[in-house]
Homo-oligomer: A and B are copies of this chain.
């Protein structure tokens, strides 16, 4: 069961808008057991629309088209579809009445442009759009389906969920699909691939493995199609259990987990609080936690000590250590973590100090050098990491790795060397 998604609109092709619709539609179709063979974005151009639709219908069972249904003259999708299916435009009364009411309520004139929104190709089944003026349309030809939907997300999404997917389940006999995604952190894609090669090679043939690299974590997805769902689910769980046994420190979670959400959950579960002292990450580390709902339950606050004076006066870093070891050093990272933990009274504290770049590097401390400190009741310690030369990337990696270091402490994978002196 193959599908193609076609998004229509000049604004997509000149890069004015990022097409988020097709990713969302892909997910929904995928969950329903439909394979999206390709996604294509084209212009509001009659010939291109007809050619693309024709090719898509030849190669797929389902074609989902979004966009080009507005009232202005550059939107030609509906007229083009009517011509393609050799059907004339007729007024859809329920839509006509809906638009009339909508316009009256909004105090907008019910002009001929709005009225034209109620015209639909005679041969299609109308999918009632309760959130806008452009009706969804369901076309059928030789058992194949073409669906045309408005491009506005909050109009398109309910139409997919409430109108399109139920009809698809009725119309096609869909194959079953089972997905599960494991999140790994701390191994580069190549290193991970080597480490898990034996596991990968031993997977049963009916399980498909996909690598889904993220900036800072790599997800591994196992999929099973056309199998007994319960059996497939159990086999996938069994295989991921084997994966965890193979690389215990690197499999951090499943599904939509992130290193931040997992670490937040670990703190939450033990009722522990967190504070942060950031230099090179400049607020990104705090953001990684506070961007998630419920952060206020464990996140007390942070100090972004960009200048040395803030390191000294707010966090209590020793001036002589700053002078002697430099701001990017184990000593300063440890004193920053201990300092923010002291002034906030948090159970755990993370610190970062490094050279994000592009300038500020030296032979001994090149751009990308970052010290990450962790302080807890047990003590304080710091780890050195060296990333690349791109500022944003260094900030992103330092942030993710700082969170992961705390995760390793919270899961007892790292023993905290006791240095009570600092606390």
Contacts and interface: CB of A to CB of B under 8 A. Distances in A.
B302 A188 contact: no
A344 B310 contact: yes
Interface residues on A, range: 35 or more
Interface stretch (A35-43, A226-234, A317-325): A35-43
A265 interface: no
B107 A392 contact: no
A38 B282 CA distance: 39
Interface stretch (A13-21, A86-94, A166-174, A235-243): A13-21
B39 A12 contact: yes
A48 interface: yes
B301 A306 contact: yes
Given A194-B111, A282-B287, A291-B282, A343 B313 contact: yes
A15 B25 contact: yes
A305 interface: yes
A63 to B, nearest CB: 14
Contact of A210 (B74, B296, B366): B74
Interface stretch (A120-128, A136-144, A383-391, A408-416): A383-391
A30 B10 CA distance: 11
Given A210-B14, A300-B309, A40 B37 contact: no
B16 A12 contact: no
Contacts of A200: 73
A40 B284 CA distance: 34
A161 to B, nearest CB: 14
Contact of A105 (B194, B291, B386, B395): B386
B392 A154 contact: yes
A20 B303 CA distance: 33
A28 B390 CA distance: 21
Interface in A341-371: 343-345, 356-360, 366, 368
Contacts of A213: 16-17, 70, 152
B343 A106 contact: no
A154 B219 CA distance: 19
A10 B306 contact: no
A290 B276 contact: no
Contact of A39 (B13, B36, B71, B304): B13
Contacts of A356: 290
Nearest to A7: B39
Given A283-B304, A306-B300, A72 B26 contact: no
A314 B191 CA distance: 44
Give me the 9 closest cross-chain CB pairs, A-B, nearest first: A282-B290, A283-B286, A15-B26, A15-B27, A283-B283, A301-B310, A283-B287, A113-B190, A302-B304
A390 B343 contact: no
Contact of A290 (B26, B114, B304): B304
A420 interface: no
Nearest to A28: B15
A212 B16 contact: yes
B290 A286 contact: no
A176 interface: no
Interface string A97-129: 000001001111101011001000000000000
